[in-house]
């Protein structure tokens, strides 16, 4: 046995739309990408969750599927706060952007530093998630 994992342990979905959260969670479950998933309906609740569980690695997601267009604390502001969190969190957790619009240029800074590892134009579908699973970014997470 090689010891290589086939699934991520935990992923988080951050989106302010309940239907998008439900659909993303179903696609993630059916695509066998992770053993567990947690949904946060807003950037602030996600930051609070990460702070609360910073000492519990089993509660820190390996991937955050992050919607960019959210009220109050949008995805860009979430990332600005995320990178200031303790290293126990940021070293263990990477971000996949979910956006209805192509905002790749705005993400360049965080893609270059490795905070954001992948960019998906919504909706999240089984086909798109399979593309992510074949990516180098995903393979790196399983090491």
Reported as a single tens digit per residue, the pLDDT across 49-106 is: 999 999 999 999 999 999 999 998 999 999 999 999 999 999 999 999 998 877 667 6
Q: Which residues pair with 65 in a beta bridge?
A: 13, 96
pLDDT above 90 (res 13): yes
Q: How confident is the model at residue 3 (pLDDT cuts 50, 70, 90)?
A: low
H or E stretch covering 76:
helix 75-82
pLDDT for the residue numbered 24: 93
What does the block give as tokens for 143? 């090491």
Closest CA to 96 of 15, 16, 26, 19: 15
Helix count and strand count (H, E) for the chain: 7, 5
pLDDT for the residue numbered 103: 64
């Amino acid at each position: 046995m090689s010891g290589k994992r086939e699934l991520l342990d935990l992923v988080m979905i951050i989106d302010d739309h309940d239907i998008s959260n439900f659909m993303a969670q179903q696609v993630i479950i059916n695509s066998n990408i992770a053993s567990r998933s947690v949904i946060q309906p807003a950037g602030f609740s996600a930051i609070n969750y990460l702070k609360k569980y910073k000492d519990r690695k089993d509660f820190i997601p390996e991937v955050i599927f992050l919607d960019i267009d959210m009220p109050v604390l949008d995805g860009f502001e979430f990332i600005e706060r995320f990178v200031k969190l303790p290293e126990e969190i940021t070293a263990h957790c990477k971000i996949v952007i979910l956006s209805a619009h192509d905002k790749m240029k705005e993400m360049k800074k965080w893609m270059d530093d490795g905070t954001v590892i992948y960019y998906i134009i919504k909706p999240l579908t089984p086909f798109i998630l399979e593309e992510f699973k074949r990516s180098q970014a995903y393979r790196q997470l399983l090491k």
